[in-house]
A and B are shown apart, each in its own frame.
Chain A
Amino acid sequence: MQQTFNRSKSVFRYAFLIVFSLMMVFPLIWMILSSLKTTEEIFAVPITLFPETLQWGNFSGALEMAPFWLYMFNSAFTSICIVILQVVLSSMIAYALTQLKFKGKSLLFNSILITYMLPAAATYVPSYILLSKMGLLDSLTGIVVSNVASVFTIFLLRQAFMQVPKEMIEAARSEGANDFAVLTKVMIPMCKSTIFIAGLIGFVSMYNNYLWPSLIVKSEDKYLITVGLNRFFTNVGSFADTWPFIMAANVLTVVPLLLLFVLLNKWFIKGISDSGLKG
Chain B
Amino acid sequence: MDRLKGYGKILFFVGIPLVPLLAFWFIPMFVSLWLSTTDWDYISPEFNHVMLENYQTILTSGNFYAALKNTAFFSVMTVIPTIIFGLVFAALLKKVMKGSTLFKSLLFSPWITPMVAMSIVWTWIFQPDVGLLNQILGWFHLPQPSWLTDSNTAMWAIIIVTIWKNAGWAMLFYADALSKIPNELYEVGKMEGTSWWQNSKYITIPLVSPTTLFLVIISLIDAIQAYDQIQVMTQGGPAGSTRTLLYLYYQMAFEQFNMGQATALSTIIVILTGVLAFLLFYTSKKWVHY
Contact present between A and B (CB < 8 A): yes
- Among A44, A100, A278, the most chain B Cβ lie within 10 Å of the Cβ of A278
Partner of B28, one of A21, A92, A127, A148: A127
Which chain A residue shows the least CB distance to B22? A149
Residue B191 is within 8 A (CB to CB) of chain A in the complex: no
Q: Do residues A45 and B14 form an inter-chain contact, with CB atoms below 8 A?
A: no
Residue A276 is within 8 A (CB to CB) of chain B in the complex: yes
Q: Do residues A100 and B112 form an inter-chain contact, with CB atoms below 8 A?
A: no
Q: List the B side residues contacting A215 at CB < 8 Å.
A: 254
Which chain A residue shows the least CB distance to B167? A24
Q: Do residues B132 and A47 form an inter-chain contact, with CB atoms below 8 A?
A: yes
Which chain A residue shows the least CB distance to B85? A20
Residue B122 is within 8 A (CB to CB) of chain A in the complex: yes
Q: Do residues B164 and A24 form an inter-chain contact, with CB atoms below 8 A?
A: yes
Partner of A47, one of B28, B135, B167, B211: B135
Residue B31 is within 8 A (CB to CB) of chain A in the complex: yes
Distance from A31 Cβ to chain B, minimum over Cβ atoms (Å): 4
Question: What size tier do the contact residues of chain A reach?
Answer: 35 or more
What is the bound-complex CA distance between A210 and B232, given in angstroms?
A: 10
Distance from A221 Cβ to chain B, minimum over Cβ atoms (Å): 19
Q: Do residues B112 and A230 form an inter-chain contact, with CB atoms below 8 A?
A: no
Residue A165 is within 8 A (CB to CB) of chain B in the complex: no
Interface residue stretch chosen among A11-19, A55-63, A168-176, A189-197: A11-19
Distance from A37 Cβ to chain B, minimum over Cβ atoms (Å): 11
A109-146 vs B, CB cutoff 8 Å, 1 = contact: the mask equals: 00110010111111111111110000000000000011
Given A130-B28, A149-B24, list of 14 further CB < 8 A pairs?
A13-B96, A28-B113, A30-B125, A30-B132, A89-B20, A93-B17, A115-B26, A122-B28, A124-B253, A126-B263, A149-B23, A253-B114, A257-B114, A266-B101
Instruction: Please list the residues of chain A having a beta carbon within 8 angstroms of any beta carbon in chain B.
Output: 10, 13-14, 16-17, 20-21, 23-25, 27-28, 30-31, 34, 42-47, 89-90, 92-93, 95-96, 100, 102, 108, 111-112, 115, 117-130, 145-149, 151, 154, 179-180, 183, 204, 207-208, 210-211, 214-215, 225-226, 229-230, 233, 237, 243, 246-247, 250, 253-254, 257-258, 260-261, 265-266, 268-269, 272-274, 276-279
Report, nearest first, the 7 A-B pairs whose CB atoms are least far apart: A126-B28, A123-B28, A126-B31, A273-B176, A89-B17, A96-B13, A93-B17
Report 24 cross-chain contacts, Cβ distance below 8 Å, ordered by A residue: A13-B96, A14-B96, A24-B167, A92-B12, A92-B14, A92-B17, A117-B217, A117-B221, A117-B277, A119-B225, A119-B269, A119-B273, A124-B253, A146-B24, A208-B114, A211-B228, A226-B228, A229-B120, A250-B121, A265-B105, A268-B108, A269-B172, A272-B169, A272-B173
